[in-house]
Structure 1
Amino acid sequence: MTSSTHSSDSASASASASDAACCAEFARVSRRGLIGGALAMAGAATAIGSAVVTASPARAASADAVLVVLSLRGAADGLSLVVPHGDPVYYAARPRIAVPAGSLLAKDAMFGLHPNLAPLVPLWRSGRLAAVHATGLPAPNRSHFAAMEEVEDANPGSAARQGWLNRLISTDTRRSPLQAVALGGGVVPTSLYGAEPVMSTGSVKAVSIPGDDQWDTTGGRVRSLHTMWDRDTGPLGRAVGSAFAAVDAFGPARATPDRSAAYPGSDLGTSLAEVARVIRGDVGVEVLTVDQGDWDMHSDLGTLEWGRMRRNVGDLAASIAAFFADLGPLASKVTLVTISEFGRRVVENDSNGLDHGYGNVMLLAGAGVKGGRYYGTWPGLADTLDADLLVTTDYRSVLAEVVASRFRASTAKVFPGFRPEAVGVMTSL
């Protein structure tokens, strides 16, 4: 598939009036809102400080390839991130909030990048950043919660509680104790949920045994925990034992320097600084997840001069740019991909925002990416009340190329029952 066109969102006052009801749902299921339920969601997870671990043997083996999945929570507007300036419907449908064609970056005949993505232009020009437009679920789903579950499970119709990233790490023959880590909160996302060992933590520093601190000068607290749990062969005893092993294996990451001062001070910048620290620590992690929230812009999406979009886009770009700069030579083994639960309508609403839509854009950066161009089949936009950007590339086809090229994993196992179509955005190892 080659570069093409994109779609938009719908404008209606009645839709705007339903914002509170519609996005009370998103507030309830936002990452911060879920942190209080972390242990319940993580199943048999064990808390370690503010970290959550679901298993772990002893020693780490270096990862040859690392995947960072960045979720844009709240349904980002892909038509603002990668603007289809060559489709005249885009400007007709968004008379107030369209991004002017003259301000776009890395333009081709159809697409251009939002100007606040400027920090990523060097990645684009060096062939390490690409975009795939008109991606998404095989059928529309405008519920934040249900769409997140569907995207991250990536196995329609299955009752199995195992996300696609958990299935991916199950194909790894290294059997590293620390194959996957969710950074930025205490919740194991659906994509990582499953039988394979994973960790969720707010920071590298938080991965510790409670009580193992400067005030326990004799190590008595940790010895007490071992006395209590080492001989317990039940599920909780095994979980505590795996928690001790995970903390030990995570030691090299804790020893790496904190470079967060070089990142934006946002939640995303802070989390990506921690992701880079884990990668630099070389503790065997091959999959990391991180979130950026506040993309649910029913109102005040705004323009280049004001509004929520310009702030979020600027934070996204600056954080990713700082991340790859921080990695240095290690960037040669790291691939980052962005994903959002759905896109937004083509037509703007009466609140200078956009309501829930369908198709979206995915950004890919780093190792193996055939960058500097736009991918996907453009379906064209419609300037009607309920117009959506249609999906012409199933999001799993994009992820399948990453899985196959970077990990040489079976896409049939990671995405059961799915036959990927060629996108062409990734090279082979």
Structure 2
Amino acid sequence: MTTSPLPAGPRAVAPAGSPCCAEYAGLSRRGLFRGLALAGATTAIGSAVVTASPARAASASSVLVVVSLRGAADGLSLVVPHGDPAYYRARPRIAVPSESLLAKDAMFGLHPQLSPLLPLWTSGRLAAIQATGLPVANRSHFSAMEELEDAAPGSTARVGWLNRLIGGDADASPLEGLHVGLGVVPTSLYGGAPVFAVKDVDSVEIPGADQYDTTGGRPRSLRTLWGGDTSPLGRGVRATFDSVQGFAPVQRAVDRRGRYPSTDLGRALADVARVVRGDVGVEVVTVDQGDWDMHTNLGTLEWGDMRRNAADLAGSVAAFFDDLGPTGDKVTMVVLSEFGRRVVENSNQGLDHGYGNVMLVAGAGVRGGRYYGRWPGLDTTLDADLLVTTDYRQVLGEVVASRFADASVARVFPGLSYDPVGFMRTA
């Protein structure tokens, strides 16, 4: 396999839990923060990580939410090719029965645990694009994550595609780009434009600004200490002060977490909904769902990791759009994973690392209720992959072109010969 050469720097975030692959074991939170510190000026105050720039909040007309299924989700289980007989020959124990599928057409159907998404599907706000992926197969989780999120094959520049989307302007507000989760900036957001990362929205605060500081003296002291510092760290600290202040409307937004699954993804998307309703100028948001590396115990309809994760994904996404109500008319969500799984099940009722996958797109601008992509057919040889017929950047590029009028697909995805798939409405 071949991948684009990349310099040392921040790595992608590993899924939570105990993954099957030893590849995850070498990645530490300390290493992530060290990578961020080496690659550019960042500031961590409270639970927030901010790259240096003043914050100037402004309303966003379009919001893109990117949900990354960390660990390589099996798209052939989520959106099942029941019309391809090779699928059932390849998976005698873990295949999803055709009669159980939802939203079936002649070839595809949704996993039954995705039933909370049916209202989005039937209302034309959810689409699936099959046989998507990287231009060249890459079965290393973290190398593939970085390649996917840089989205600039052959480039050594340390800039992610979402950072290019929000403009690459060092004087922009950090609040335009946000990660909700571990408080670590993912590769897709990293670059010249300042961004913001939080563990959760309620814990964004200046240390010491609590109920015991009745006069506000501690934050004033910190501002005095760093107010005249012209170093990158000083600029980063001041940017954090401004960002925390600008983030306040999000914290005042109603918390409807009780409507969501009680999971990491559910809690994160509940926070993202508050961010959208707070309307502080956030344009792009990233969220992770982990534990998709199912080498063992992928399971059946009655038990297993796929049943659990699919239910969490569907329940969380459905609750998110329900929570937003009419405000969701400006939100588009993309769900993707670093690569797919092999066609043929292994001896542990799981699947090993593969290639092609499915992408889901929901919300504003989507021509939903349909399956898109050119199906290449499946093979049942031991190492068979779902081949990629649509470069994943074509999918992301179509979202960018449809939802961000001032953005250039050529700048966001350098070297891509853009060819729309057709799942988004034109402006």
* Coarse TM-score class (shorter-chain normalised): over 0.9
Query: How many pairs are equivalent?
Result: 407
Partners of 2:261 and 2:316 within 8 A in 1: yes
Q: 2:21 aligns with which of 23, 35, 39?
A: 23
Partner of 1:37: 32
- Where do 1:352-363 residues align within 5 Å? 352-363=349-360
Q: Which runs of 5+ in 1 are unaligned?
A: 1-19
Please tell me whether the aligned partners of residues 62 and 282 of structure 1 are also in contact (alpha carbons under 8 angstroms).
yes
Letter in 2 for 1:75: A
Instruction: Return 5+ residue gaps in structure 2 as ranges.
Output: 1-17
8 Å CA contact 2:19, 2:293 repeated in 1: no
> Is 1:317 the counterpart of 2:275 in the alignment?
no
From 377, 382, 387, give the equivalent of 1:380. Answer: 377
For residues 172 and 406 of structure 1, what CA distance do their matches in structure 2 show? 20
Q: Percent identity?
A: 70
Write out per-residue CA displacement over residues 100-143 of structure 1, whole angstroms, 9 at most, x where no aligned residue. 00000000000000000000001000000000000000010000
Distance between the aligned counterparts of 2:55 and 2:360, measured in 1? 35
Following TM superposition, by how much is the alpha carbon of 1:361 offset from its aligned partner in structure 2, in angstroms?
0.1
Match of 1:229 among 216, 226, 230: 226
Per-residue CA deviation, residues 209-264 of structure 1 (Å, 9 max, x unaligned), is: 11111111121211211121101111111111111111111111111111111100
Give the Å deviation of 1:175: 4.1
Task: State the distance in 2 between where 1:88 and 1:350 align.
Answer: 21
Q: Deviations over 1:271-326 (max 9, x none)?
A: 00011111110000000000000000000000001110000000000000000000
Distance 2:136 2:418 in 1: 16
Give the root-mean-square deviation of aligned CA atoms: 1.7
Q: Which residue of 1 aligns with 2:419?
A: 421
Q: Is the 8 A contact 1:39 1:45 kept in 2?
A: no
Q: Distance in 1 between matches of 2:175 and 2:98?
A: 45
Cα distance in 2 for residues equivalent to 1:152 and 1:173: 20
Give the aligned residue type for 1:305: E
Decide which of 273, 290, 299 is 1:293's aligned counterpart: 290
Deviations 1:342-372, CA, capped at 9 Å, x for gaps: 0000000000000000000000000001000
Q: How big is the shift at 1:161?
A: 0.4
SS at 2:202's partner residue? Answer: coil
Q: Identify if the C-alpha distance between structure 1 residues 345 and 58 changes in structure 2 by more than 3 Å, giving closer, same or farther.
A: closer
Do the aligned partners of residues 354 and 177 (structure 1) sit closer, same or farther apart at CA in structure 2, a change above 3 Å counting?
A: closer
- State how 1:331-346 maps to structure 2 within 5 Å: 331-346=328-343
Q: Deviations over 1:37-83 (max 9, x none)?
A: 33542531101201111133233110000000000000000000000
Give the letter aligned to residue 37 of structure 1: L
Task: State the 1:174 CA deviation.
Answer: 11
Pairwise mapping of residues 131-170 of structure 1 onto structure 2 (< 5 A)? 131-170=128-167
Aligned equivalents of 1:114, 1:179: Cα separation in 2: 34
Structure 2: how far apart are the matches of 1:40 and 1:226? Answer: 27
8 A contact 1:253–1:277 mirrored in 2: yes
Q: Normalization by structure 2: what TM-score?
A: 0.93
Residue 417 of structure 1 deviates from its aligned partner by 1.1
